[in-house]
Amino acid sequence: MTHFDIGELYTRDQVRAALGLPPMAGGDWATGYARVGEEVFVFCNVGIAGRTGHDYPNRWIDDALDWFGKTGSTMDQPLISAMLAEAVTTHVFWRAKDRGPFIYAGVGIPDGAWGGEPVEVLWRFDEAAQPVLIATDSRRVIRTAPQATTFRHGPPPSFGLRQMLTTEGACDLYLMALEGAVDALFPHYSPAATSRSIVKVGISRDPQRRQRELNVGFPRGAAASWRLRTFRTFGSAGEAYSAEGKLLERLAASGRWISGEFAIVPVGDLDRLLA
């Protein structure tokens, strides 16, 4: 399997060079995803329109990526079928600005697929293929050898982004911080000991309710919880969605992105993230 560093930036040509291929000249590499041997390389935009005329609301949902295939794609197409059956290794790259390099998210594991055209896939990321994150540097996330366990989760909520984007009204981009015994939960990060905070960003029309929903995921008596630090209101869900993608890309560019909508940030920077 070709090696790429999670959270690092790559152009399509850099990915091709890692495979021993010449610079691209159009074709599948310019339109979303391409197969080389037993590996597939997915390049997607988050929060911005595609450059090939399609505009699907790819977005992060917690630590999973809700992704749409090319126009006209279906679950029974040979390449999509191979990706869903895990018959190939699917490398996922994303970005939130046009013409920029892509951020490597990792090896995608399909955790749900929905029919229609285009096909929609919920990608989670194979922890067995991802390096462990450690806290030896207060500025960047440092990664070491992979763990051996993966976890699978259920499908995203039925109220999806496509429905939200077609609903009129303001929408908030929120920032939550994990509080409590975070060093016990994340000993490989040691966030409190390094004056950092585990944060989650996202969009919602009711951030306080979203905070309650996230905290329901902790069992009774847990010594940690999410706290809403701040939010910024936008005129529409589409604007908030675009702003979230740009924020996640900034976090990745500064070495603070962990995965999905999660990052590890110096405590002193928290109140400036949404400014």
pLDDT in tens, 88-143: 999 999 999 877 899 999 999 999 898 778 999 999 997 665 554 444 444 444 44
Give the pLDDT score at 134. Answer: 46
Contact of 191 with 262, CB cutoff 8 Å: no
pLDDT in tens, 34-49: 999 999 999 999 987 6
Contact of 104 with 6, CB cutoff 8 Å: yes
Q: Say how many domains are in the chain.
A: 2
Distance between CA 134 and CA 80 in Å, rounded?
34
Helical (H) or strand (E) element with 84:
helix 78-84
Give the pLDDT score at 249. Answer: 93
Higher pLDDT, 26 or 212: 212
Q: In Å, how far from its chain's centre is CA 148? A: 21
Same domain, 193 and 83: no
For residue 150, CA distances in Å to 109, 124, 265 come to 10, 10, 25
Give the pLDDT score at 55. Answer: 63
Q: Is residue 138 part of a domain?
A: no
Same domain, 105 and 206: no
Q: What percent of the chain has pLDDT over 70?
A: 82
Same domain, 54 and 94: yes
Q: Mean pLDDT score of the chain, rounded to an integer?
A: 85
pLDDT in tens, 259-268: 999 999 999 9
Domain that holds residue 177: 161-272
Q: Is the pLDDT of residue 71 over 80?
A: yes
Give the pLDDT score at 148. Answer: 33
Contact of 73 with 118, CB cutoff 8 Å: yes
Name the 3-class secondary structure at 128. Answer: helix
Q: HSE-up of 64 (CA within 13 Å, CB side)?
A: 20
Helical (H) or strand (E) element with 12:
helix 12-18
Instruction: Please give the sequence-ordered ranges of beta strands (E in DSSP) within 33-74, or none if there are none.
Output: 33-36, 39-45, 59-61, 64-68
Mean local confidence (pLDDT), 183-199: 94
Q: Is residue 59 part of a domain?
A: yes
Contact of 127 with 151, CB cutoff 8 Å: yes
Q: Is the pLDDT of residue 32 over 80?
A: yes
- Give the pLDDT band of residue 163 (cuts 50, 70, 90): low
Higher pLDDT, 159 or 272: 272
Q: Is the pLDDT of residue 165 over 60?
A: no
Give the pLDDT score at 18. Answer: 96
Which of 84, 110, 130 delimits the end of a domain? 130
Give the pLDDT score at 176. Answer: 98
Q: Is residue 197 part of a domain?
A: yes
> What CATH code is carried by the domain that includes residue 59?
2.30.280.20
Helical (H) or strand (E) element with 174:
strand 171-180
Name the 3-class secondary structure at 71. Answer: coil
Q: What percent of the chain has pLDDT over 90?
A: 66
Mean local confidence (pLDDT), 187-209: 95
Name the 3-class secondary structure at 240. Answer: helix
Same domain, 103 and 184: no
- Give the pLDDT band of residue 28 (cuts 50, 70, 90): confident
Distance between CA 202 and CA 185 in Å, rounded?
22
Higher pLDDT, 151 or 161: 161
Which of 130, 147, 177 delimits the end of a domain? 130
Contact of 91 with 40, CB cutoff 8 Å: yes
